[in-house]
C-alpha cells in the first residue's frame, strides 16, 4: 500500500523553517513562522496567562470531557469579545475548535454541507493555508484582488471581482492585519463590501486571527462587528494563538450568525457532528485559560495592557525598518512597508531576491516576500535593513557581519 503513495509536496513555510534550523550561521534571522517574539527573541508566556494557569492548577479537580462544543463559557466569551458586549449574541452559535485552523476547516465543511455548489472567494495574495483547507473540504476556490501594483489596498479591484460572486457563494475575508500582505481595507471600503454582500446575497466568512495587534482590540474588530450587524448570515473563525500567545495550546472558536433561532440549533449540531469525525473534542487547557482571563476584570485588564505592549513593539519594529531603509536610499520600498500593520510585512522583493536574502544574509522569509516583523529583535533591524538594501543593489552586496550593521 504505502509504496504506491505519491511524493507529497512539502509545506512551504515549515520547509523553510527546517532549512533555518539546519543553518549554522550565527547571524541568521527566522522571519518565516508567525509567532510574536520579545526583544530577546523569545516567544513569552503572557503574565495574565501564567496567572490564569496558576489559578486553574489550584482549583483543578477533573480532566473530564467537555463535550463536542468544548468549553461553553469560552464560546460565550469569544462571541462577546468578537461581536462586542452589545453585539448580536442572540443570532450566534459557537463551538470551540482546535485553534483558528480547526475553525476554518469546520466552517469550510459546514459550507460544503449546506452549499455544496458554492465557490469560496479568497484574497490574492492569501494566507498560505486558506486554499488547502478549503479545497480539502471539497470546495471550489476563486480569488479576488487585494493589492494594486504599488502594494496598496485595491478596494476597487476587489469589489469589481466580487461582483461575480453568486448568491450561494462565500467570501473569505481577513478581519484585520492581513496575512501575508499586512495591508488592510479602510473602514469605508469595508462598508462597501458589506453593501455588496447585502445586495448580492453571498455570505461573508471572516477570519479573525490577529485582533489587538494592528490598531488595538476594538479598532481591529470594528469591521467584523459592522458586517455582523448588517448581513443576515455570517461565518467567523477565531484564533487565540497570537493575542493570547497560546500557540501550542491550539485554542480557537467557530462562530456562525443566522437570523433564525431554529437554524442556530441545527448549525451547532452540524458543527458538533463535523468535529466528531475530525477530532471529537477540542483541548480544554487553552480555552480555560482564556475564559479565566476574560471573566476576571483584573486579569482582563492586565492581558489588554500586555497586548498593547506587544502591538507597540511590532509597530516600533516596522517604523525602525522604514527609517533604516529610508536612510539607505530606499524611500519607495520604505513607504510600501509603512502602510502595513500587524505581525507580517511583505517586502517589495522578488522570489529571486528573497532567495538571495536567505542565501547571502541568512534572513529567512517566504518566497512571496512575507516576513514576520514581530519576530525580529530590535537590535537586528539594522541588519535586516542592510540585507534588504544589499539585495536591492544600493549597498555593497558582500554579506555584512552583524557587528557592521547592528
At CA 42, angle to CA 37 and CA 43, rounded to 5?
Answer: 60
Q: In what order do the strands lie in the sheet with 92-98?
A: 92-98, 251-257, 234-239, 203-208, 170-174, 119-124, 140-145
Domains in the chain with CATH codes: 10-45+311-405 (3.90.1150.10), 65-295 (3.40.640.10)
Using CA atoms, how far apart are residues 227 and 204, in angstroms rounded to an integer? 8
Whole-model pTM: value is 0.94
Using CA atoms, how far apart are residues 285 and 287, in angstroms rounded to an integer? 6
Cβ count near 10 (within 10 Å): 10
The Cα-based distances of 163 to 50, 148, 195, 235, 382 in angstroms read 47, 18, 11, 20, 44
Q: What is the pLDDT along the chain (406 residues), one digit of tens a residue?
A: 888 899 888 888 888 989 999 999 999 999 998 999 998 889 999 999 999 999 999 998 789 999 999 999 999 999 999 999 999 999 999 999 999 999 999 999 999 999 998 999 999 999 999 999 999 999 999 999 999 998 999 999 999 999 999 999 999 999 999 999 999 999 999 999 999 999 999 999 999 999 999 999 999 999 999 999 999 999 999 999 999 999 999 999 999 999 988 899 999 999 999 999 999 999 999 999 999 999 999 999 999 999 999 999 999 999 999 999 999 999 999 999 999 999 999 999 999 999 999 999 999 999 999 999 999 999 999 999 999 999 998 654 444 444 333 3
Three-class SS of residue 81? helix
The H-or-E segment that residue 46 falls in is none
Sequence-distant (6+) residues with CB within 8 A of 31 are: 363, 364, 365, 371, 372, 373, 375, 376, 384
Amino acid at each position: 500500500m504505502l509504496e504506491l503513495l505519491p511524493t507529497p509536496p512539502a509545506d512551504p513555510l515549515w520547509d523553510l523553517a527546517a532549512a533555518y534550523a539546519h543553518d549554522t550561521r550565527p547571524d541568521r534571522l527566522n522571519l518565516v513562522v508567525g509567532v510574536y517574539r520579545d526583544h530577546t527573541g523569545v516567544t513569552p508566556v503572557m503574565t495574565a496567562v501564567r496567572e490564569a494557569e496558576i489559578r486553574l492548577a489550584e482549583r483543578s479537580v477533573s480532566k473530564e470531557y467537555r463535550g463536542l462544543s468544548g468549553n461553553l463559557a469560552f464560546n460565550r466569551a469569544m462571541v462577546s469579545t468578537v461581536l462586542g458586549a452589545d453585539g448580536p449574541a442572540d443570532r450566534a452559535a459557537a463551538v470551540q475548535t482546535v485553534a483558528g485552523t480547526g475553525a476554518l476547516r469546520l466552517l469550510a465543511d459546514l459550507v460544503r454541507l449546506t452549499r455544496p455548489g458554492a465557490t469560496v472567494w479568497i484574497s490574492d495574495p492569501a494566507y498560505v493555508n486558506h486554499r488547502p483547507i478549503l479545497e480539502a473540504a471539497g470546495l471550489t476556490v476563486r480569488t479576488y484582488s487585494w493589492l494594486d501594483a504599488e502594494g496598496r489596498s485595491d478596494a476597487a479591484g476587489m469589489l469589481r471581482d466580487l461582483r461575480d460572486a453568486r448568491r450561494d457563494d462565500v467570501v473569505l475575508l481577513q478581519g484585520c492585519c492581513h496575512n501575508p500582505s499586512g495591508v488592510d481595507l479602510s473602514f469605508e471600503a469595508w462598508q462597501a463590501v458589506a453593501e455588496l454582500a447585502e445586495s448580492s446575497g453571498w455570505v461573508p466568512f471572516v477570519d479573525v486571527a490577529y485582533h489587538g495587534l494592528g490598531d488595538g482590540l476594538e479598532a481591529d474588530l470594528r469591521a467584523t462587528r459592522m458586517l455582523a450587524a448588517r448581513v443576515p448570515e455570517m461565518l467567523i473563525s477565531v484564533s487565540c494563538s497570537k493575542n493570547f500567545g497560546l500557540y501550542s495550546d491550539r485554542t480557537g472558536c467557530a462562530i456562525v450568525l443566522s437570523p433564525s433561532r431554529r437554524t442556530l440549533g441545527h448549525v451547532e449540531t452540524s458543527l458538533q457532528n463535523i468535529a466528531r469525525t475530525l477530532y471529537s473534542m477540542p483541548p480544554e487547557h487553552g480555552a480555560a485559560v482564556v475564559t479565566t482571563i476574560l471573566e476576571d476584570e483584573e486579569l482582563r485588564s492586565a492581558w489588554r495592557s500586555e497586548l498593547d505592549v506587544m502591538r507597540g513593539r511590532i509597530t516600533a519594529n516596522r517604523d525602525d525598518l522604514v527609517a533604516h531603509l529610508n536612510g539607505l536610499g530606499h524611500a519607495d520600498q520604505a513607504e510600501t512597508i509603512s502602510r502595513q500593520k500587524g505581525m507580517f510585512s511583505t517586502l517589495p522583493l522578488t522570489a529571486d531576491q528573497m532567495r538571495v536574502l536567505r542565501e547571502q544574509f541568512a534572513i529567512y522569509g517566504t518566497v512571496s516576500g512575507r516576513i514576520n516583523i514581530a519576530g525580529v529583535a530590535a537590535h537586528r533591524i539594522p541588519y535586516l535593513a542592510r540585507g534588504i538594501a544589499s539585495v536591492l543593489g544600493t549597498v555593497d552586496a558582500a554579506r555584512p557581519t552583524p557587528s557592521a550593521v547592528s
